């Protein structure tokens, strides 16, 4: 595994994002919406550095079918709290083509939130397929498939404390070749 963003670098980037979010919202209550499953670790670290009253909700989005190519997006929003009149902040692991965040944003906007903003840990360069402005970005990364810190390959690697790029010799890469 090649380490792309170390544990220390991740924490610095997340602190910077938290400072920006605290600066923007001040003491206004915020409803953080965790896009499961990839952003679970990011959300856990991020919200502990937010200083306003925070409510937590989640949506489940899946577009990758255990692979690195994009499939049809499935969105489960049955776990959301009441968003009427709230400031909503959607938090996702990575902005790649943009289809996931765009779809979640459209859905949340229709549920009556007063404002809807978004934050991502990683923003992948050169992959965007639609116009969408992410409000808070942790790190910009090159167009490589990354795992760790919530991000998976075929369901594994989410527990790595850093963000890495698979190399031959890694478990998943080996399984792929067998
Ligand atoms: P998008 O809809 O922007 O193309 O893709 C966003 C979703 O695809 C992310 O929430 C994430 O689940 C998955 N994804 C995109 N790029 C990567 C990547 O490099 N690694 C992993 N593990 N997942 C990715
Ligand atoms: Mg995702």
Ordered by start, the domain boundaries in the chain are 2-177
- CB-ligand 1 contact for 150 (6 Å cutoff): no
Report CA(114)–ligand 1 centroid distance (Å). 27
- For the CA of 39, the nearest atom of ligand 1: 10
Q: Calculate the average pLDDT of the chain.
A: 93
Beta bridge partners of 35: 59
Percent of the chain surpassing pLDDT 70: 93
Residue 71 has pLDDT above 80, yes or no: no
Rounded to whole angstroms, the Cα distance separating 7 from 160 reads: 9
Contact between residue 14 and residue 5 where contact means Cβ atoms under 8 Å apart: no
pTM to 2 decimal places: 0.93
Binned at pLDDT 50, 70 and 90, residue 13 comes out as very high
Asked if 93 is an active-site residue, the reply is no
CATH number assigned to the domain covering 2-177: 3.40.50.2020
Rounded to whole angstroms, the Cα distance separating 147 from 165 reads: 6
């Amino acid at each position: 595994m090649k380490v792309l963003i170390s544990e220390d670098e991740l924490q610095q980037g997340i602190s910077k994002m938290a400072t920006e979010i605290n600066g923007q919202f001040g003491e206004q209550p915020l409803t953080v919406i965790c896009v499961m499953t990839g952003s679970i670790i990011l959300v856990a670290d991020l919200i502990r550095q937010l200083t306003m009253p925070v409510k937590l909700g989640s949506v489940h989005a899946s577009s990758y079918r255990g692979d690195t190519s994009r499939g049809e997006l499935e969105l489960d929003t049955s776990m959301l709290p009441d968003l009427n009149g709230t400031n909503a902040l959607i938090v996702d692991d990575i902005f790649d083509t943009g289809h996931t965040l765009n779809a979640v944003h459209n859905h949340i906007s229709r549920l009556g939130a007063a404002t809807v903003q978004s934050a991502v840990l990683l923003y992948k360069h050169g992959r965007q397929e639609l116009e969408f402005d992410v409000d808070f970005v942790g790190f910009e990364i090159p167009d490589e498939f990354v795992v760790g810190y919530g991000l998976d390959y075929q369901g594994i690697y989410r527990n790595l404390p850093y963000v890495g790029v698979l190399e031959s010799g890694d478990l998943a890469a080996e399984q792929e070749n067998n």
